[in-house]
Amino acid sequence: MKAKILICAIFGMLIGMLSAQNALDFDGNDDRVECGKDSSVALVGTTLTLEAWIYANYWQTETYDGTILAKYDEPSNRGYVLAAGNNGRLHFSINDDSTAELNTVKPVLTLNKWHHVAVTYNGKVVRMFVDGVAVDTLSEDMAIGDSRLIPLTIGNHYSYYRPWSGLIDEVRIWKRVKTPAEISAYKNSKYCTYDKTLRAYYNFNQGKASASNTTVKTLLDWSAYGNNGTLKNFNLTGSYSNWVKGVVLSQDVISKIDTVVRCDRYPSPSKKYIYTASGTYYDTLLTKQGCDSAMKIILTIRKSTASKMVVRTCSNFLSPSKKNTYTQSGVYQDFLLNAAGCDSLITIVLRVGPDSTFSKETRCDVFKMPISKREVRKSGVYIDTLKNYIGCDSLLFIDVNILNSTQSVTKVNFCRTYTIPTNNKTVYTEGTYYDTLTNYLGCDSVISYVLKSKATNSFYNDFACGSFESPSKKYIWNKSGIYKDTLVNVAGCDSIVTTDLVITNNSYNKINIKQCRKYRVPSRKYFIIKSGTYFDTLINFAGCDSILEISADIININKSILINGEFLNATDLADNYQWLFCDSGYKWVAGETQSIFKPISPGRFAVAMELDGCKDTSECKVFKTNSVAKIAKAERLFYPNPSNSLIYFAKDFNLRDLKVVVWNVQGALLAEHYKVGANGIRLPDLAGVYLIQIFDKDELIGSERILKLPE
């Protein structure tokens, strides 16, 4: 009796260690399990029992809003629903075109607590149970409609948004009416017995509680109908919307004692262990209902034996067990029973027929057989024959590897020299050279080096004027002759260029010219309009440049005329002046041969000027005389006169509004003073006669000639 108690205790410990007591946590939003549309769970007719363990985190508003399980076809209004809500009230409905439903009058469930809920229907009465106790009944005469078009769902309604918020475990769907005694007696136990009326059984003992279960998306049905469920929208990580710790249920111990005798090893029924020694062992299996079955195994291990025999024969050999006859050499295994009744393994190392000796030989070009002395020149397996000690042929198998001497041709393009890499010999000319090495096989390797120079030569006749730049741009050749230059060709080698060169010298001359206004150079390529040194290039009789250096003196006369009050001024210096009447056919104005001219009457005037033999005439200028002088002619404007350097105003002018202009006697404008101060005006450094004019807003109001004395 004590031994049985100990065995049961050990079995119970194994079951407790190996059974997962898990559930599913539903998030109250979109989590649900879809368990298929099979007719086995449609429960068409008038009998059913629904069971589940539930743990509510939150109550939905209406009693029917928290779906525990439902097989309800909303378009045809057929099926059944088990739900809870409204502060802990339980709801059940059956549907077949019309609806019959039962809601507990008062709350019968509590938040954050495990409850066993059940409902039965026998075609006449609906009964509700909470924790094994009947809580409400309903008299009804209605069949359950066929809902096979809609899948069985757990934790949410298939057609409506009616989610369960909390845990669900141990869902059982029966096609029979369980008695109140059965419901009360078995609510706290796993179901481990086959029953064809059990249409679906979900024990939720899958995954790892509150761990990562992203690959565990199938809820197994442990009934005989295989209505496995598919998890929808679960996070499957952490303690929320995942496999979590469920309600703890007991299980009747299903146990078995097995006495086993094996040779050498024994794999346990669960395939988890392999035993190699005698003893008492325990193992646990999972039944087809998902329950644990504990086994006690009384094991006796008997040992196999092994031996080896070496056999030499010229013909065939019969094995010790008399079951096999061997005709070829090899290693064979034969089995007899030893005294323990286990296998006695005999390993037979058998040699049948002549002795065979295998060897490998490698030669260059030819091999001579050791016994027959014949020569072979091709690779292959050859046989020489002897007689062994028992009179059988002794065969000598020789795997001959004939290595041929090799020849190769290496073509080399070189520049100046080439060093043969195999013998370090340096050659300077093209040709074919030979060297003999030992190849990687150990035989002669004759290498032919065919050498060809990549250097090139070319010859040119050329001519140049003055000098010639060599093709390499390294040299400048100034004389006729035959020259050599070295370039690098496209192959990267020397390219010797020989040039037969004719040098023709350029010619060089100088000329001096003096010209009025402009001068066109002899090549007629351009005009010289300013004095200076210029160069022009012509082609001489030899086809080379004739360089002409031109020293040009270009005489340009500034022909402009300035009207200064009562005077006309020629603005350029000239050797001779002659003022002209434009309105009288350019008639000379008698006696007016200075750069400054005071007309006595209005009209158009021009001036003819001569400078260094060049003559030119200005444009005509319209002149109008002033009718009233602002200052009397006899009135002195400046003092002292003559002066060494500075002159001062004799009158009290408002000098800051006047402009003073200084001219020389040749009519050249020397200075203009604006807003002159009271200290007067500094005369130019050179001694001579200067014309000083005073303007008021561009109108001449007075002028006076001043003699500048040497300082």
Question: Can you read off the two tokens belonging to residue 174?
Answer: 């029966």
Question: Can you read off the two tokens belonging to residue 80?
Answer: 């059944």
As a whole number, mean pLDDT of residues 13-17 equals: 40
- Model confidence pLDDT, tens digit, residues 334-390: 888 887 778 888 898 888 777 677 788 888 888 888 888 888 888 888 887 776 666
Name the residue among 116, 109, 110, 113 with its Cα closest to residue 53: 116
**43: alpha, beta or left, given left = phi > 0 and alpha = psi -120 to 50?**
left
pLDDT for the residue 84:
97
632-711 is a CATH 2.60.40 domain: yes
Say yes or no to pLDDT of 625 above 70: no
Say yes or no to pLDDT of 426 above 70: yes
Q: CA 599, 622, 578, 567: dihedral to nearest 10 degrees?
A: 40
pLDDT for the residue 315:
76
Question: Can you read off the two tokens belonging to residue 30?
Answer: 């979109």
| Cα 76 to Cα 72: distance, rounded to the nearest angstrom | 9
pLDDT for the residue 60:
94
The residue assigned the tokens 């369980």 is 178
Coil, helix or strand at residue 377: coil
The residue assigned the tokens 């009288």 is 584
DSSP 75: T
Question: Can you read off the two tokens belonging to residue 142?
Answer: 């209605």
As a whole number, mean pLDDT of residues 104-129 equals: 96
pTM, whole model, 2 decimals? 0.43
pLDDT for the residue 102:
94
What are the CA-CA distances from residue 627 to residues 27, 563, 566, 622, 697 (Å)? 119, 16, 10, 16, 17
pLDDT for the residue 678:
56
For β-strands 688-696 and 699-708, DSSP reports them as antiparallel
Phi and psi (nearest 5°) for 13? -60, -45
| Cα 299 to Cα 97: distance, rounded to the nearest angstrom | 63
Contact yes or no for 361/369 (Cβ under 8 A): no
As a whole number, mean pLDDT of residues 623-643 equals: 61
Contact yes or no for 710/575 (Cβ under 8 A): no
> pLDDT grade, residue 503 (50/70/90)?
confident
Gyration radius of the chain over CA positions: 67
- 3-state percent breakdown (helix, strand, coil) of the chain, nearest 5: 5, 50, 45
Give the whole-number percent of the chain exceeding pLDDT 70: 89
- Model confidence pLDDT, tens digit, residues 448-489: 888 887 777 777 787 778 788 888 788 888 888 888 888 777
Q: Which amino acid is at 295?
A: M
Say yes or no to pLDDT of 331 above 80: yes
Q: How many C-beta neighbours within 10 Å does residue 368 have? A: 11
> pLDDT grade, residue 292 (50/70/90)?
low
pLDDT for the residue 285:
63
Say yes or no to pLDDT of 86 above 90: yes
What residues form DSSP beta bridges with 121? 48, 126
Name the residue among 309, 398, 312 with its Cα closest to residue 354: 312
Kindly report the three-state secondary structure assignment for every residue of 265-328: CEECCCCCCEECCCEEEEEEEECCCCCEEEEEEEEEEECCEEEEEEEEECCCEECCCCCCEECC
The residue assigned the tokens 């009718």 is 627
The CATH architecture that domain 21-245 belongs to is: Sandwich (2.60)
| Cα 52 to Cα 343: distance, rounded to the nearest angstrom | 56
> pLDDT grade, residue 554 (50/70/90)?
confident
DSSP 15: H
Domain ranges of the chain: 21-245, 254-302, 305-352, 355-403, 406-453, 456-504, 507-555, 632-711
The residue assigned the tokens 């210096």 is 573
